[in-house]
Chains A and B, each alone.
Chain A
Amino acid sequence: MVAEAVAPPFARGASRPLVLIAIPLGFALLGYILRFFAFLQAGWSPSFWNYPDGLCRWDCLWYVTLAESGYNHFPTESLLDTGNWAFFPLLPMLVGGLHALIGWVTIRIATALSIGFSTLAVFAAWPLLGRNLRSYTLYAAFLLCGPFSVYFTTFYTEVLFVLLTNCLLLTLRRSSYLLSGVTAGLLSATRIVGVFAVFAIVAQYLLDYRRGGRRWRNLPAEIWRDPTIVLAVLLAPIGLFTYMAYLYFHMGDALAFSHVQRAWGRITGNPAIFLWQGITATSNDGSWPAVDQWLALSALTGLALTILLAWRRRYAEALFCVVCLAAPMTAGLASMPRFVVALSPLVLLAIELLARSKPVFVVLSVGFIAADYFFTVGWLQNWLPLV
């Protein structure tokens, strides 16, 4: 109903672009207003002028400092053990560059850029969602006016990660491996797990190779004849390696982004054990579910959707997602909701399935909008484990 209300029957080609633009922009505006009301309700000394700052919490504050002041040397300027080397550079660089260019307040630039990137991510998802208007509308609502929209509309790298992942999926569907490699290179400069896009590229290449009826034993000759895939694979981690080189010349340790995890007291272990501990956790005050159980539920949801991806023969996407989930889980379940909702293949699949039923679509559209307000209050008052 909602989609049809905003999308009367198309004249061939004429009104469709307008509708495709209007839907995400409409949700962007609605979400911005809803979260503002949530901020007025639950924020600290809320006003219109400090609204972007008010939503900026936890890692967002690190990114603001990073965009303004760059990476720490060693010893860090504040003498903290927790240097900012774990925060990957691409989005802070873009925001910092704009800040240097136009002089706006950093968090306002970041907010505008994030909303812009979210909108672009929705546009990019149109072919990925089978050009289905209900799916498109629901996806736009989820990103821009949904329960986790605070991740995609303030200063978190998840929004750029989602946009680039959608671009990667588009290039893989077209078997444009070189473009896939370039996109993956940008992903690996956005978040550490972006480097795992190389697995999706290789998987898709092999699938495409076999779909052409070709034999494994001819693979080396094929690669020698057309080594595009080799260059694509090499380009995938270029963002990470560039950042590593920068860290070395800046403060002496190319692996500082990994080594600094010690300062946060993170220990590594078996993801399955962490998952089990989360599922069986209890809270000190007897409330149910416990925070760790929420985190475990997020992880389980992500894994279930990954299995569903594989079952639907979207092997490259499933491989990317399982690695992107398992790698962070070796350090526990912290931030799992964020990691799961930032995995585009999972969200797109879920949206696709949920949008099939018109009643479910309507209920979820309204539900997402309502949840945007309440989850933002939960984010501000710290009673939801969203960080």
Chain B
Amino acid sequence: MFAGIVLVAGLELAAAWLALHPHVDGNYRAYYIDQSTTCLNKPVTGAYELGATVSFMPDDQPGARHLRVCGWAGPGGDGTHSAGTSSRLRFAVPDGTKSLILQMWVTAVVAPDGRDQQIVLRSSNGVTIGEATIPAGVTKVLEFEVPPTAISRTRKRLDLVLSYPDAAAMSPHVGDMNYRAIKLMSVQLRRPGDPASLGPQDDPLAQRHEQGP
């Protein structure tokens, strides 16, 4: 009996020790354990062709899925909603790329208090790209210059972090995971001088849907 008690107690103490010392990476710890972010960084490919328009409406979910890292919900009929206090997008970028222009078609949510929505853009390596403020319910076309220092040369990609200081709870008693700020309709990352996107309808897949079977 005492041997059994010692054995079981020992096993459970060992399991308790394991519980107190998780062996996880920084992304897991920040999201699940420390809860310091609402956006769980994941190994999304970022597969993207420079200059292309990717619709974040329901008509090109495969294309958008390559770019959506975290902090997004949907898409709904009005776009892909931001979920939480920050979101991430990832774009694979060819070697030797210099500065780029990022275009986003964005609608600010209508929060219960009608607040404007601020978006702060930076790269994951800490380079500030820009910020914008959009009145509630208004759709805007945002363009930002992306400096070469924002692009990761080793990983050949641009990781964008969008922060929403004014993200709001759309109903009472929800956690920060469910805060809303913007609805993203389309993105384009292009070289300076390339033609600008005219919006989600420029997505080739969206155009195919328009044409029918």
Contact = CB atoms under 8 A, between A and B. Distances in A.
Nearest to B175: A267
Given A75-B43, A265-B175, A267-B173, A259 B18 contact: no
Interface in B1-46: 1-2, 4-5, 8-9, 11-12, 14-16, 18-19, 22-25, 28, 31-33, 35, 40, 42-44
Contact of B173 (A228, A254, A263, A277): A277
A266 B32 CA distance: 12
A22 interface: no
Contacts of B102: none
A231 B1 contact: yes
A227 B5 contact: yes
Interface in A118-134: none
Interface string A223-246: 000011011001101100110110
Contacts of A248: 15, 18-19, 22-23
Contact of B32 (A231, A238, A242, A262): A262
Interface in A47-94: 74-75, 79, 81
B168 interface: no
B17 to A, nearest CB: 9
B19 A255 contact: yes
Given A81-B40, A81-B70, A266 B175 contact: yes
A1 to B, nearest CB: 48
Contacts of A252: 22-24, 28
Interface residues of B, number: 32
Interface string B54-95: 000000000000000010000000000000000000000000
B19 A244 contact: yes
Contacts of B174: 265, 267
B15 A234 contact: no
B165 to A, nearest CB: 20
Interface residues of A, number: 32
A28 to B, nearest CB: 37
Interface of B: 1-2, 4-5, 8-9, 11-12, 14-16, 18-19, 22-25, 28, 31-33, 35, 40, 42-44, 70, 173-175, 177-178
Contacts of B175: 262, 265-267
28 contacts: A74-B24, A74-B25, A227-B1, A227-B5, A228-B1, A234-B9, A238-B8, A241-B11, A241-B16, A242-B15, A248-B18, A248-B19, A251-B24, A252-B23, A252-B24, A253-B32, A253-B33, A254-B15, A254-B22, A256-B32, A259-B32, A262-B31, A262-B175, A263-B177, A265-B175, A265-B177, A267-B173, A267-B174
Given A231-B4, A234-B8, A277-B173, A259 B43 contact: no
A237 B19 CA distance: 14
Main SS of the interface on chain A?
Answer: helix
Given A252-B24, A260-B32, A269-B173, 8 more contacts: A79-B43, A237-B12, A238-B11, A244-B19, A253-B22, A259-B32, A262-B32, A267-B175
Main SS of the interface on chain B?
Answer: helix
Nearest to A265: B177
Given A248-B18, A253-B32, A262 B8 contact: no
Contacts of A81: 31, 40, 70
Contacts of B2: 227
Contacts of A237: 12
Contacts of B15: 241-242, 244-245, 248, 254
A227, A231, A253, A277: residue with the most chain B Cβ atoms closer than 10 Å: A253
Contacts of A234: 5, 8-9, 12
A241 B12 contact: yes
Contact of B14 (A74, A230, A245): A245
A260 B28 CA distance: 10
A238 B7 CA distance: 11
Contacts of A245: 11, 14-15, 18
Interface in A244-303: 244-245, 248, 251-256, 259-260, 262-263, 265-267, 269, 277
Contacts of A277: 173
A177 to B, nearest CB: 12
B177 A262 contact: yes
